Structure 1
Amino acid sequence: MTHPIGRRALLWSAAGLAVASAVPARAQGGSTMEQIKARKVLRVGATPAEPWFYKDPVSEKWSGVAVSLGEQMAKDLGVGMQLVETTWANAPAAIQANQLDVQFILDPTDVRKQVIDFPEAPLLYYALGALLRPGLTAKAWSDMDKPDIKVGVTIGTNIDQMLTAMFKQAKIERFANNDEAVAAFAARRVDVVSQFHPALLVQQTRVKMGTVIIPTPATAVATSVGLRKDSDPTFRNWVSDRIADYYKTGKTQALFAAYMKGKGLDPDKMPGVMKEKW
């Protein structure tokens, strides 16, 4: 991710790119596809960030939309799946170092494209969302731009910058992280919290209050799958074809809906990960 939200947490410094130089996969013992087939395992990066990855603190079992996508991709390849715990900041270097084969929910920024590869097709879409307090009705960002409205954001993120430029009357309250912003919402110290909508949907299950919307004008942000640079495009093309098919046939949305349903939410009453249905 590179989400202005907790994408905030996804942001990684250019300095981290110097950890490893870009070495094509073929120089490490065959193409990416050949290595996966020989290993009989698809290695998927996993970093705690619901709804994409969630590690149960008791059982230590992983679940999430990206975990399910990895399982499906491994099945289609005819191999097993291995989750490799990492962080958003370290994932690109881990891909370069041939410790991971894929990292789901990684935004294809220009900086990242210098050191790792991405498939042509997008994986899914999310948008800047708003969690509204009970009783507050809004459809557009302009509906929230009022002197008596307090909006919680994570300080220093793209969301902070975007809403600071957008709002002329609403008061923006800044917090150190997403959880603090949502805690303030639960305590009714802010009227709105803004993050990317999948994260907000999960946050809503924790506070058990409010309504998540994608205010207009909505801006779709495509996220992708990080891959190793490889002079042989076989694996990159295969991944691109697979995720395009998952998206087009509704499988990606179905996996997202299933995870949300497991959190006690009605997926039919919330924005999903297909921009065409917003």
Structure 2
Amino acid sequence: MDFSRRHFLALATAAAANFDSIPVFAQDATTLDQVKARKQLRIGVTSAEPWFFKDPLSEKWTGIGVAMGEKLAANLGVEMVPVETTWANAVAALQANQIDLMFVLDPTDERRKAIDFPDAPLFYYAMGALVPENGPFASWTTIDKPGTRIGVTLGTSLDKNVTAMAKSAAISRFSNNDEAIAAFAAKRVDVVVQFHPALVVQYARLKLGKVILPEPVTPVATSAGLRKEQSTAFRDWVNTQFAELYKAGVPNQLFATYLKSKNIDATGIPGLIKEAW
């Protein structure tokens, strides 16, 4: 009986010590409060260059989204922590408080019903297409023909856009960008639609087909998703950060740095600041 009591007390003491080391948040604690208390800014990451790339050997994440997350974390004096997810699951991960931000998430009307977005854009890109070198594709009209097979990444705004646009072509959906490109290489799809920065990186690695910006070319503003909450403190802070970084041309700098890390010449490639296109 004495042994059981001593054993119980030892377990209780250990549990109390562990509990003290875990941040405890009030129900009304804002995301900004939680990030500061946790000393961590958790960003969602998924396989999608140039936004997110996981080195298969070191398992370290890099990319424009990761670099942006590091900048925001540094400005808050906290650590940036990558949390693996998918584009399709990112909204649910935010709602479940598994991540604090998901970069390069377009603020569609459907997503706005479930999560929040800052007003200032993160940066801009355009819908591009990876097509066969001698293919008959130059515009969205020539792509949307019977018999054309289009590959897109499931759960992205491109998935929604292509679904609305394509009336005659067949659409195949893949869990990430790499799978869509692999399908193109295997000739299981004729066209892969992704935003132009992602296609530039994919083409440089694949050296197959060509990247085009089908007419009409329309700049698309992307952003970062965050949880809906009564307080606007975190959203306002992120909004200010995005506006300042965009004005300073930081998205273009991060894009050029990432392309250089992949031995890709950024000369002539449209960047992420639409005013410079």
- Which range, TM-score by smaller chain? 0.7 to 0.9
The CA deviation at 1:161 is 3.9
Which whole-Å CA distance do the structure 2 matches of 1:146 and 1:223 have between them?
A: 25
8 A contact 2:151–2:191 mirrored in 1: no
Task: Within 5 Å, give how 1:48-59 maps onto structure 2.
Answer: 48-59=47-58
| RMSD of Structure 2 on Structure 1 (CA) | 3.1
Cα-to-partner distance string for 1:53-82 (whole Å, 9 max, x where unaligned) = 111222111111100000000011111111
Unaligned runs of 5+ in 1: 1-25
Name which of structure 1's ranges 247-256 and 30-39 shifts more when overlaid on structure 2. 30-39
Equivalent residue number for residue 241 of structure 1: 240
Give 1:164's aligned residue: 166
What is the CA–CA distance in structure 2 between the aligned matches of 1:146 and 1:113, rounded to whole Å? Answer: 29
Aligned residue pairs total 246
Q: Contact (CA 8 Å) 2:148, 2:170: kept in 1 or not?
A: yes
**Residue number in structure 1 paired with 2:222:** 223
Specify the alignment match of 2:20 in structure 1: none
Superposition pairs for residues 12-161 of structure 1, below 5 Å?
28-134=27-133, 141=140, 152-154=149-151, 157-158=159-160, 160-161=162-163
Contact 1:213 1:271 in 2 (8 A): no
Q: Which amino acid aligns with 1:102?
A: L
Distance 1:71 1:104 in 2: 12
CA positional deviation for 1:137: 9.6
Structure 2: unaligned runs, 5 residues or longer: 1-24
Alignment match, 2:204? 205
The 1:104–1:112 alpha-carbon spacing in structure 2 relative to 1, beyond 3 Å, is same
Instruction: Specify which structure has the bigger relative contact order, considering alpha-carbon pairs within 8 angstroms and separated by 6 or more residues.
Output: 1
Per-residue deviation, residues 221-269 of structure 1 (Å, max 9, x unmatched): 2221111222221211110111111112110111112112222211122
The TM-score with structure 1 as length reference comes to 0.74
Secondary structure at the aligned position of 1:28 is classed as: coil
| TM score, norm. by length of structure 2 | 0.75
Distance 1:138 1:81, change over 3 A: same
Match of 2:195 in 1: 196
> Which stretch of the first structure deviates more once superposed, 252-261 or 26-35?
26-35
- Report the alpha carbon displacement of residue 272 of structure 1 after superposing the two structures with TM: 2.0
Does the 8 Å CA contact 2:137/2:143 hold for their aligned counterparts? no
Counterpart of 1:6 in structure 2 is none
Residue matched to 1:252: 251
Contact 2:151–2:192 under 8 Å retained in 1: no
The question of whether the paired residues in 2 share the 8 Å contact of 1:31 and 1:230 is answered with: yes
The superposition leaves residues 57-113 of structure 1 with CA deviations (integer Å, 9 ceiling, x where unpaired) of 221111111000000000111111111222222222222222211111112222322
Residues 264 and 188 (structure 1), Cα distance of their counterparts in 2 relative to 1, 3 Å cut = farther
